[in-house]
Structure 1
Amino acid sequence: MANRNDILKKINEWLKPENFQDYCPNGLQVEGKSEINTIITGVTASQALIDAAIEQSADMILVHHGYFWKGEDQTIRGMKKNRIKQLLDNDINLVAYHLPLDDHPDYGNNRQLADVLGIQNPRPLGGLVWQGELPAAMTPEQFSLHIGHLLNRQPLHVGQGKGEIKTIAWCTGAAQGFINAALDAGVDAYLSGEISEPTTHTARECGIHYFAAGHHATERYGVQALGKALAEEFGVRHEYIECDNPV
């Protein structure tokens, strides 16, 4: 058993959310019980994840995508009301870290995705974008199959570039707009979670391979790494719950 505030203090020491200008509050979003035995992690604090956490008698839900995003309706009704009521009725803490969890050098989504895909020498390129190298050059078709096999989701590949890919830049989630950073770095390919209509034209006209591997699929791994680290640090139980999302 661990104290909630001790856990939050440790996460803040690791992730340093004060260094980020984010679109949502990082840290405790909905307060529950103070003593924590079980932490459930997931990508998004959806109703499905909350229901699964209740079944697991969770004391804390730790996610990448929480609530209270800038620009959204501030009223608590409908879907938001149902989710928050379930958390309060079951005295479950909701804890969320967005950009700080993307960019952490050990637990971050970018670093963890590099480990999953076997990208060597992963390092920050600038902003939230990272860069690295593949162990061996792959054709675009081979790299697409490689991503699909490891993420269990076939990516969308657009663009035109070199016949083989060796250097790559990436940023998980909705980071398609950072493709220009990859172009400036001169890498062979850029990978993110989502794609937008202009991204296709940029990739085609600027001569780079672009892979949209899925917002959810690319951001599954940071929260798992963080949950595992907390379990080791505090001796609590941790379980990651996968709630499938094709986006």
Structure 2
Amino acid sequence: MSDVSTLLGEQVSVKLSGDVIFEGILTDLGQDILVLFNGIKYYYIPWMHIHMVYQTEELKEKIKNPNEPSITQEMETISYRKILQNAKGIFSEIYVTGNITFHGYVMNVLSDYLVFYSPVFHTMYISLSHLKWITPYNHKVVPYNLNDDTLSVHPSTTPLHRSFESQIKKEIGKLVIFDGGTDPMKIGRLNKVDNNQLELCVASGENVYLKLAHIKSVHLP
């Protein structure tokens, strides 16, 4: 950590899982998260998904220092959980898997997952261990240019459990969509949740079995 801290204020490249590379100014860091400004917005990236932080001799583009504060400005020390708590109510983009990102609002932060409300997907449960990054939008950004009536947030009234597994068990017997629905084998009726394993009945009527530890997001159609 002390070595990385020497790069504070410098333009760096950050390599994530899946060979995803971000470039920006390293504006802050903590034991489990770092903050990168790419010239337009801040990215809050958990250390668990970072493979490498480095400076390159030849910069593709010189990034100007931010002229707006990040949500860490008033924190004495930053952490993954503190940043998620501070992001509540701010329209944000999050990334967990594949080639899609989710846009919406952090509603609650529980022990190992967060509740996220998306104007498109509505209430979602996102595993904290799979959240690769979050970037809050400028307060002036209106989601999808929707008016207040259309945008009104209607979060689920389902009681929240502390753990991701316990919360998913509440959805047994319902149609669920895992990981954004890009894989048809992750869409179906949830039959069972037991011993870190899920039983899902897909459209064909076939039962498939998924490991809970690999589930990144959950929402109901």
TM-score of the superposed pair, with normalisation by structure 1: 0.28
Relative to total residues, which structure has the larger helix share, 1 or 2? Answer: 1
Relative to total residues, which structure has the larger strand share, 1 or 2? Answer: 2
Q: Which structure has the higher relative contact order (CA within 8 Å, separation 6+)?
A: 1
